[in-house]
Structure 1
Amino acid sequence: MNVPDPFKNDVEIQWCPGCPNFGILTALKGAFRDLRLEPHQVCLVSGIGQAAKLPHYLRCNFFNGLHGRALPVALGIHAANPALTTVVTTGEGDCYGEGGNHLLHALRRNPDITVVVHNNEIYALTKGQGSPTTPVGEVRSLQVHGVEAAPLNMPAVAVLHDAAFVARGFAGDPDHLKDLLAEAVRCPGLSLVEVIQPCITWVRRPVSWYKERLWPVPPGYDPGDKDAALRVLAGDDGRFVTGILYRGPKRPLFGERFRRETGDEPLVRRGFPPKSSISALLDNFRMGE
């Protein structure tokens, strides 16, 4: 019996035929089903790029904004309406490049959101330039003599700053990725899931090349061991370590203070504050000049 997909819409998908992004879309919808979420309970947030198109292809709330600026919007949504499951879907250029500063400060603030980063080591929407994760020496459309700058290791940065949950999956294995995404959403705090997503248009490697270099976390691996997580992420030797990499310690969630001050009533239900309180706040600010 065919079960209707509540997240399915009729928007024409603009990705290249056969793009591994389809696997991420399938995995995300599967995670929402496993979590028994309905479209009205989910809000997707994105910036600009091929990964940022994903919210267009699901039936749910979403905000599609500026390049690299998805995280500030997601923080605002989470603070104002914590009842929503807020998920950022972004590329490594959008999130680690233009939006890298926002990711760093989101790690400090620890909002209860999930950040899904499609990592294809390239700016695919704008014709194949090197991205923040392109390995040294790789030739790209603008880096004709090879990329000179060292790539970023943002999952390691997330571990260093005690993100609540850090994982890496592969777009070519949507079943495994689905489980990682569901676990990321369940975990309170900021969850970062990096997805190895080969670009079949601009990167001259077959998907099989990436499959051969996937490296599941070793047996007995403890994701609660911060030093072990950093060692694994630092010593992949050209491989892509996959699985649950880190579970950080419990930390206060961004927005909890706002809710304590309002008696746990979400800001979204309170409306705008009266002009008198805004004037008092401004007067207090001016007194410090």
Structure 2
Amino acid sequence: MARSIFAGGTDYRGQSIDDIKKDLIDTQDLLKKTVRLFEKDLEKLKELGKFKYMDFDFRASTYDLINFFKTSIDDIDLIIEGINNGLNNVHMNLLENMQRLSHEKNKHHRKMFRNYYNPEYRTLHFDIIEELYQEGGDVTASMFDLGNMVERLQQFIVDRRNEMSINITNNIDKVDNLQQNSGHATGYQYNQRCETQNDIDEIIYLLKDIAEKLDKENKEELLEYVEDFNEDLKSSTPRKSRIKSTWTSIKSKLTLESVANIATITTSIPNIIDMGEKIINQLA
């Protein structure tokens, strides 16, 4: 269907469910294309020897968008499956969550680019940076419409007492170990777990990036801690005591003078530590 020329301005209240499904598929295709473009551009920067000089905060925002787009691709799969087999309130929550996050990430990505000082303006290197900025802003803005679908799709929800629950066991490959022990989660719990998963993926990206800037010994030690941290967090039966112990080791490494003196990451270390503490606190 024809969408509004204004980001977030499309009115779906009078549209058919087939029109909405087509827009979801088109959005999913755009996200897949953008992920490929971002990964290709980042590889170009590495080939040019410019990746390590890329502004840390903007690079972190770019990797965060890649993760957000990949998660949204999987979420849209679940929504399309719901359209085909029966919608429920969890699907509505997913749409509203994507709309909310797209606003937040659009604003953040543009802010990080505005703060990006680079004397190599209009070089091939900076043209790639600008493409990451432009596409990131455009694609997140195109997702503003997703929440507008909810009012129309709610009309197709079957009225069942237990409709607020969704069995995500059969979709385990799509939701990356977000299941509860019972294999069921409410819409609220599902969204909370999705957000936690996004935080985990983001902090792993950032920690690995910091490790690449360290000397060989510190790099190898930090990467080992990070891998353990990642595996334990994504375990179907995470052990909080082990995770907290590994996180303590990571924090100790981050606060070493040799790490803190790396100018390109100093301002981001407190944010990374705050992010890690948030993840720890969210563990059951």
User: Could you state the TM-score of these two structures normalised by the residue count of structure 2?
Assistant: 0.27
Relative to its length, the structure with more strand (as a share) is 1
Return the TM-score normalized by structure 1: 0.27
